[in-house]
Amino acid sequence: MRLNAALLWVIACGTLLPEVARAKEEIVADGKLSVTIPLGWKAVTKLQAGAKAGFQSVDGHTQVYVIPFAGGGNSSNFDLVRNYIEVYKQNFALIQEGEYKSGKVGDIEAAFQVLDLAILQGDNQMKYRFFLMVFPMGADAYLIQSSTPLPVHDYRKKEILEIMRSVKVLKSPFD
């Protein structure tokens, strides 16, 4: 009898869970981009300055923001990332700078870099890993920024990278 009940439960979950467990595609940046957010993540109620969209993990420890910046499309991806890193260095203590990488995310030519940074909060030092992906769109550019506390768990890194890989351009910047 227990085997039958267990088998029915497995069948029910196998047919229902894929529908429930799917990540959700969100349209962001005034309809210009889409990004797929993992199950349980939700929109941030208070956006970071300049961000068009923001999402946080189930536990609230990790955030991802979509941040446009005017005029960046005329720069190389490398220069775009370097400019952002300099801003971070002015506001945080740099612990470690990861290797610069470039490549395609879907149809987007993007630059990617990881930074480990420290933030002083009173007498405490909070350490975070920032994942940065920058890409041009016409005359402008976008930054996909994620931050999460150190040490980073493998499942969280996977979620962040899946979000970044999911970015799609929905509207041409020339429309």
Q: Which residue has the tokens 């801003």?
A: 87
Does residue 5 register a pLDDT over 60? no
**pLDDT higher for 104 or 23?**
104
List the one residue out of 19, 33, 18, 32 whose CA is nearest residue 163: 33
Region 107-114: mean pLDDT is 89
Options 3.60.15.10, 3.30.70.60, 3.40.1000.10, 3.30.70.2470; CATH of 23-169 = 3.40.1000.10
pLDDT in tens, 11-54: 444 444 443 346 899 999 889 999 999 999 999 989 988 899 99
Contact 35, 25 (CB under 8 A): yes
Helix (H, G, I), strand (E, B) or coil at 161: helix
Domain boundaries, the chain: 23-169
Does residue 124 register a pLDDT over 70? yes
Average of per-residue pLDDT values in the chain: 84
List the one residue out of 91, 142, 83, 147 whose CA is nearest residue 116: 147
pTM of the shown model? 0.82
Under the banding of pLDDT at 50, 70 and 90, the label for residue 127 is: very high
pLDDT in tens, 62-92: 999 999 987 766 778 888 888 888 888 888 9
